[in-house]
């Protein structure tokens, strides 16, 4: 009789997250990019060892551009970032500044590249000297279930420029074949939504409609098909979320703390628990998994049955009110949080944070 195969953990579902859910602006993205581990991640994507030059050597006043050195050649590498689809202003700015500093590489980071802009970068790589390279890099955020998010730099231009040999005069423009980048491509076939995903989409659509109609401080987003919807709250590393818990029959509104300072920020907020709960008018649940860079502060609504559509207006009203309260109470407060303040007080007692944590 054949032996049973060893049990294995189930795979999680990899989901792409809108970058604006973590970075609210390019000015918010820039401090993250200059960290050693993140600039190294970018360098690995373009196969250039990068080091950020000191502020005194930065030759640009633009908040979206960053100057680095290629440590292998000591050449200048100019980086421009935008947390939006590409547009011409950034490209013209890159070309102008790259010429001023005699850059050896120009890196354009964006959330999405248009076919036209990719064609321009490819054309530049084909028709400029080998000592100058142009890179198009998409910044993406991914998450598996409730795990911490991960950033990925996706190189969208060829890693090596194509060699172009012109042996005959070029054809007239009206006789040249259409650039493949500009050809009409068939729309990819999307997988049909499951009944649960359809229900999620319908429910979140109603919530976002209410946020817009009531002029909420919580800005509506594109409704997802997952059981969680995330909203910006004004600072990287923090998310305001609503969550459907079908199996356990409840809804939750959550402030999620996600980055490497999550434990310290959680501790600072926990010290103000009494004031926070008095401002909100209800008790909060405080969840701090030990040694993880993800903490959650949340409230719940029990006895929820999403299959009963007649109850949706009640659920939507509760979510709208709770999200509004969370945003008004936490948004300004989290702007003032400084992880160093927590570490200065608790450095001699690192276990205090877990002792203070309340059960979820």
Query: Same structural domain for residues 229 and 304?
Result: yes
Would you place residue 163 in the very low, low, confident or very high pLDDT band (cuts 50, 70, 90)? very low
At 123-139, the pLDDT tens digits run 888 888 777 899 999 99
State how beta strands 250-257 and 228-231 pair: unpaired
Q: Which parts of the chain fold into alpha helices (H)?
A: 26-33, 36-46, 88-101, 115-127, 195-213, 262-270, 273-280, 312-335, 339-346, 352-356
Instruction: Provide the domain count of the chain.
Output: 2
Q: What is the pLDDT of residues 311-330, one digit of tens each?
A: 999 999 999 999 999 999 99
Euclidean distance between CA atoms 34 and 40, whole angstroms: 9
**Quick one: tokens of 243?**
């969550």
Query: What pLDDT is attached to residue 255?
Result: 95
What residues have CB less than 8 Å from 38, skipping those under 6 apart? Answer: 32, 151
In a domain, 343, yes or no: yes
Q: Are strands 133-144 and 105-112 parallel, antiparallel or unpaired?
A: parallel
Q: Give 343's pLDDT tier (boundaries 50, 70, 90).
A: confident
pLDDT tier at 147, thresholds 50, 70, 90: low
Q: Are residues 70 and 215 in the same domain?
A: no
Q: Last residue of some domain: 100, 135, 161?
A: 161
Q: What pLDDT score does 129 carry?
A: 78
Same domain, 140 and 215: no
Length of the chain: 360
Which residue do the tokens 């190294």 mark? Answer: 40
Tell me, yes or no, whether 9 lies in a domain: no
Whether 205 and 349 map to the same domain: the answer is yes
Mapping DSSP to helix (H, G, I), strand (E, B) and coil, where does residue 16 land?
strand
**312-335 vs 195-213: helix axis angle to the nearest 10?**
60
Task: List the domain range (segments joined by +) for residue 294.
Answer: 195-356
Q: Which two tokens stand for residue 254?
A: 């959550």
pTM recorded for the entire structure: 0.53
Residue 179 falls inside a structural domain: no
Distance CA 25, CA 30 (A): 9
Last residue of a domain, one of 106, 139, 161: 161
Task: Please indicate, yes or no, whether residues 114 and 200 belong to a single structural domain of this protein.
Answer: no
CATH number, position 264: 3.30.1460
> Which DSSP state fits 309?
G
Last residue of a domain, one of 161, 176, 203: 161
Taking the C-alpha atoms of residue 233 and residue 254, their distance in angstroms, rounded to an integer, is 11
d(CA 27, CA 77): 20
- In three-state secondary structure terms, 221 is coil
Residue 293 CB: number of other CB atoms within 10 A?
A: 14
Quickly state the pLDDT bin for 144 (edges 50, 70, 90).
confident
Same-domain pairing of 228 and 305: yes
- Shared-domain flag, residues 154 and 20: yes
Q: Is residue 58 part of a domain?
A: yes
Percent of the chain with pLDDT over 70: 81
> Mean pLDDT in the chain?
81
Higher pLDDT, 236 or 349: 236
**Same domain, yes or no, for 209 and 351?**
yes
From CA 12, how far away is CA 147, in angstroms rounded?
10
Whether residue 119 is found in the same domain as residue 202: no
* Domain match, 137 and 206 both: no
143 and 265 together in one domain = no
More confident residue, 94 or 168: 94
Predicted pLDDT at 3? 54
Residue 149 vs residue 240, higher pLDDT: 240
Q: Judge whether 184 lies within some domain.
A: no
pLDDT tens digits for range 259-308:
778 889 999 999 999 999 999 999 999 998 765 678 999 999 999 999 99
């Amino acid at each position: 009789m054949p032996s049973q195969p060893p049990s294995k953990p189930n795979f999680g579902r990899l989901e792409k997250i809108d970058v604006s859910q973590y970075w609210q602006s390019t000015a918010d993205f820039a401090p993250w990019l200059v960290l050693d581990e993140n600039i190294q991640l970018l360098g690995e994507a373009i196969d250039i060892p990068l080091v950020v030059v000191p502020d005194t050597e930065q030759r640009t006043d633009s908040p979206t551009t960053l100057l680095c050195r290629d440590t292998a050649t000591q050449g200048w590498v100019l980086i421009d970032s935008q947390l939006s689809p590409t547009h011409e202003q950034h490209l013209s700015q890159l070309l102008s500044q790259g010429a001023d500093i005699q850059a050896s590489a120009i890196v354009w980071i964006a959330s999405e590249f248009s076919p036209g802009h990719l064609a321009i970068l490819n054309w530049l790589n084909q028709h400029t000297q080998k000592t100058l390279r142009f890179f198009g890099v998409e910044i993406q955020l991914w998450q598996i279930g409730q795990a911490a998010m991960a950033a990925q730099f996706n190189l969208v231009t060829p890693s090596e420029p194509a060699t172009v040999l012109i042996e005959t005069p070029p054809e007239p423009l009206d006789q040249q074949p259409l650039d493949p980048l500009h050809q009409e491509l068939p729309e990819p076939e999307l997988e049909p939504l499951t009944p649960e995903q359809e229900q999620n989409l319908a429910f979140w659509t109603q919530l976002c409609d209410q946020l817009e109609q009531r002029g909420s401080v919580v800005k509506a987003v594109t409704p997802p098909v997952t059981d969680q919807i995330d909203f910006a709250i004004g600072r990287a590393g923090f998310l305001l979320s609503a969550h459907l818990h079908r199996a356990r029959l409840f809804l939750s509104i959550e402030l999620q703390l996600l980055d490497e300072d999550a434990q310290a920020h959680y501790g600072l907020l926990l010290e103000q628990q009494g004031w926070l709960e008095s401002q909100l008018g209800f008790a909060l649940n405080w969840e701090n998994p030990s040694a993880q860079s993800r903490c959650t502060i949340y409230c719940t609504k029990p006895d929820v049955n999403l299959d009963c559509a007649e109850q949706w207006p009640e659920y939507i009203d509760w979510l709208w009110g709770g999200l509004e309260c969370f945003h008004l109470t936490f948004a300004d407060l989290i702007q003032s949080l400084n992880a160093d303040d927590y570490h200065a007080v608790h450095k001699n007692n690192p276990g205090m944070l877990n002792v203070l944590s309340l059960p979820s």
